[in-house]
Amino acid sequence: MCSKRKTCHGGPSQQEQDSPAVANEVFVIDEEVSHLTRLKSEPSERTRACLHAGKSHISTFKLLSSRESNRSGFGRFSSADCSYALRKHLPVRGPWCVDNMDCAAYISQFSSDGSLLIAGFRGGRIRIYNADKKWKIHKDITCKSLRWTVSDIALSPDQQYLAYSSLSPTVHIVNVQNALKQSHANSTDIHEGLNFSAADDESSFGIFSIKFSKDGREIAVGNSNESICIYDLGANKVTERIQAHVV
């Protein structure tokens, strides 16, 4: 429990001003109360009535549809409706530590089915964790020819291959479903390099984003050379170079 606070027009109490630790503690308690309140929130009676829902559960889709068609007459969510919709998407567990590396994580993403978490680190490392096996390391990758950090990562649609980029014109691809747990570039494993540079490039450039096509046959990249490039994996060459943005 915390002591009572005298506040003026929503401002901090004298106790909070004198002690930052107390202010932080109160903030944490307020956040926990807000979180638990949202978890137990119910939609407004007006919303239930216009949806003829009674006491049954209302899906987020129905709430959104009702708002868009203005069935409640408000033209928007009430505060209760907002909290009710949010409670389904608020985390109720965690956070917890998945790994503790000696270098900063720069980028991460889940696979499309949520079973794998891929994280890229500034020390030239990529680790893939299996979410279904208590975050056990699925693959530990030591990258090749990095400049500064792993700038982006992309998993192929079949989750067989991982592409990673750096602040250079080359994207590397590694098989993440073979038997090797440790993948050291061109030592224990082959990291195939795809060169996105052209003969008329005046200087080197960095790749900041990569993405596989839906069929896994092409890779698109966005780079600091004011262009988007498409690489055909079957033809093993860049097939499109689109002047798309100015840095």
Query: Do residues 35 and 121 both lie within one domain?
Result: no
Query: Do residues 72 and 167 both lie within one domain?
Result: no
Q: What percent of the chain has pLDDT over 90?
A: 33
Task: Please state, rounded to an integer, the average pLDDT across all residues of the chain.
Answer: 79
Query: Do residues 76 and 116 both lie within one domain?
Result: no
Last residue in a domain, options 34, 61, 87: 87
Total H helices, total E strands in the chain: 5, 13
- Asked if residue 109 is part of any domain, the answer here is yes
- Asked if residue 6 is part of any domain, the answer here is no
What is the C-alpha to C-alpha distance for residues 57 and 43, in angstroms, rounded to an integer? 10
pLDDT of residue 2 exceeding 50: no
Q: Flag the least confident range among 44-53, 134-143, 191-200.
A: 44-53
- Asked if residue 92 is part of any domain, the answer here is no
Query: Do residues 142 and 189 both lie within one domain?
Result: yes
Supply the pLDDT for residue 154: 95
Cβ partners under 8 Å of residue 131, min gap 6? 110, 114, 115, 116, 117
Helix (H) or strand (E) holding 66, with range, is helix 60-68
pLDDT of residue 22 exceeding 90: no
Please report, for the domain that includes residue 205, its CATH number. 2.130.10.10
Query: Do residues 138 and 235 both lie within one domain?
Result: yes
Query: Do residues 81 and 123 both lie within one domain?
Result: no
Count of domains in the chain? 2
Helix (H) or strand (E) holding 20, with range, is helix 20-39
Supply the pLDDT for residue 10: 44
What is the C-alpha to C-alpha distance for residues 177 and 39, in angstroms, rounded to an integer? 39
Query: Do residues 237 and 129 both lie within one domain?
Result: yes
Handedness of CA 78, 81, 87, 89 (dihedral sign): negative
- 214: domain range? 105-243
pLDDT of residue 185 exceeding 50: yes
- In DSSP terms, 140 is beta-bridged to 127, 182
What is the C-alpha to C-alpha distance for residues 146 and 42, in angstroms, rounded to an integer? 51
Per-residue pLDDT tens digits for 65-119: 877 777 777 777 777 777 777 766 666 666 788 899 888 899 999 998 989 999 9
Say if residues 22 and 42 touch (Cβ distance below 8 Å). no
Query: Do residues 137 and 221 both lie within one domain?
Result: yes
- Asked if residue 112 is part of any domain, the answer here is yes
- Asked if residue 181 is part of any domain, the answer here is yes
- Asked if residue 32 is part of any domain, the answer here is yes
- Asked if residue 142 is part of any domain, the answer here is yes
- Asked if residue 59 is part of any domain, the answer here is yes
